[in-house]
Structure 1
Amino acid sequence: MSGELNDTQQAPDIAISVHPELSSRRISDYAWKARAEEFDRLVETSSCNLVESLRFTVRRALSGTLLGSGQVEDIRQQIEIQEAVVVFVDHPLTPVQQRNLEKAWDAKVVDRTGLILEIFASRARTREGVLQVELASLNYQLGRLVRSWTHLERQRGGFGFMGGPGERQLELDRRMIMGKVKSLEKDLEKVRQMRATQRAGRKKKDIPTVALVGYTNAGKSTLFNHLTASGVYVADQLFATLDPTMRLLELPGGLRLMLSDTVGFVQELPHELVDAFRATLEEVIEADLVLHVRDAADPMLAEQGKVVEQTLEQMGLVGDLAPPVVEVMNKKDLAPGLESYRAEMVSGSRIALSAVTGDGVGDLIALLTDWLQQDMHELHLKLDVSDGRSLAFCYQKGSVLSKTVDESVVDVVVRMNPADAGRFMFYEGMHQLQ
């Protein structure tokens, strides 16, 4: 789909956005305005020139056009006045509705799912991201093939089940796309297997994984860069991060964890994307700890939190299957008065910080350090003063709590993760575990 709406070498397409509000799904004016603004930002993210944003109350959704005939005509007039060439509809459209509206408006029509797919297609950089977007796009297009072949004659009769040339072309296209879908699913299964192997390797080395999740534009990538000194793309726009990124994060005392940055969630994230991005989202599913990054300065904070929670549930992270979750209230600099809260268990804690200024990041590092140390082994070692190798291992892999030296023995108390403690005991074979 990428490039279908815009040619980057030409002026951006003039666009209109339409926000149908179904009577059966009424929300407050404030919530509607926030949703409409978010959708319009998505339109602008697609590099179109948005010139008009229209709201309509739909008492009864029509199967053919979703909107009423009078509303369709009002929008047609606006399209003509604004000389718009594309209309974005903030609602899922059936293939029939999309086709009928394109005929009525003589303009390209893109629904919410199509818009998000277009943005994802333009942002994918890694092979995995490209595969995932392509799979989602093909599944989306399967039901819309007829749009491309309305000009072909559809003959009646023929031999048995065979239709006219248009029908035959449709069937050929459908088979071609379904074949491509199967091929992409096989490729993504290889990606899943590769990630599973990588996760198994990390577990073998006892490196826990912490996943950053949150609503789009909450500041996950900014926090990720602050913690890991990475160069992950950051921008004040929706879906700035698409491809998953993982970095090793070293904490005080030789503690280590793998930090994962993931795609941001959004209201009504199309199920095609949730399904296609399961390989990426498995990093969240398999995480040992989840950091739910939230924009503390956003008036829709509560609603955005519910969207993230619902998406995590959709991925199967419920009950005993869910890893512990810590709330990270970001943009503290824009929301004065926020304070961190440490629960008895790590899960349920809240850390207030600013990923831009760094204020409060130390609280998060302290929490992660405490979380990593909760299963740590404490070793009381008596080392020969000449055994610099073992002492260096203690400082490199653990947190040295105390050290005393006499003429021939170095008495060390060190805290290590189970894997490193076991490795030390195996090779040294002469120390006492307390």
Structure 2
Amino acid sequence: MNVLIKSAIIVDPKSDFQNETCDILIENGIISQISKQIPNSSKVREIKLDNLHVSQGWFDSSVSFGEPGFEERETLLNGLETAAYSGFTDVAVNSNTNPVIDNYTNIAFLKAKSHDHSVQLHPIGALTKNADGEDLAELYDMKNAGAVAYYDYQKPVKNPNLMKLALQYASNFDGLVYSFPQESKISGLGVVNENVISTSLGLKGNPTLAEELQIARDLFLLEYTGGKLHIPTISSAKSVELIRAAKAKKLDVSCSVAIHNLILTDEVLTTFDTRFKVLPPLRTQSDCDALIKGLKDGTIDMVTSDHNPIDIEHKKIEFDYAMYGSIGLETAFGALNTIFTTKQTIDLLTKGKDRLGVQSTPIAVGEKAKLTLFNPDEKYTFTKEMIRSTSKNAIFENYQLKGKVYGIFSNNQLVLN
């Protein structure tokens, strides 16, 4: 496909044209020319958009779709299209389907079904068989099928010896092990952050201690075994401190934070709106501040939308019984861009690729065109009518966001809103 992008401000520190306004000519999916002005001599399709900015394609390290098994929540096709319209060219997809993605065949199914899409799907295989926490899944076979990491989505590994074995075994083939940071006996039946808010609302609390104990355990195991550990979606100030200390000791650990845990606090729970029931739970403002600081100093390696569509039957019910989760792909950019500069926001949305073995593609002549197109300045209120995801459980519904995504060019395909 041939496309001429006109007058785009390039936001890519790895590009020679960083912060410059340029035309970008793409021929057969490859960037063939970047210049201040490129004549359209071949009469290819031109893209002219208001306040157009272009960056490397965005990446999300934790996305859940429903297929196979929970197609009423989100099919693969609709999920990938939602990702494309939200500016993402690459997504790492969790294993929480039915059946659980825990073997070579399941990984191959995801890869084959998404093969020709503009958005590249990177499967995360389950760490244990059927994600039940008893026995390790077929980790090496899944790697050969294309798995980029191993994770029982939002299920803590209760058995420390199993985590020890996972780190040791996966280190033989450079496998990345995710460990959800929650000590189940401490978290108990808690559904929100344990705090004065939970007490006043009469909701059972899930303390930050549950997260921090599990992180401390896993860091000790990592130090003992070696290997590569990723701790997804941390939410407390103490968690940031623990990981900062581990990195100072040169342990091979990375971590992420969900975007809603950077912005929202448990104070929004007073309406008992189940859109705000997420895991880990929303914490306090001091936790948000520590997480933002952790991103700025590099302690936290990446952000994630933690996109998790839940059907209405499991979300619009009594708070205690509602499932955890929010969709987040569509609001990721607009929400981040309200608390960070545009440069910082794009940096956060393009980080994490190397950790999961996803190739980065700088905006340079001769490189594959894998681009996100956006306007960073437009402000708007995100409404239910804007949701493309099949499920409508958007935590940022009715919030004012900043930044409009125009679309992507990826896999020799152009997707525009």
**TM bucket normalised to smaller:** under 0.3
Q: Which has the higher helix share?
A: 1
Give the TM-score taking structure 1 as reference length. Answer: 0.25
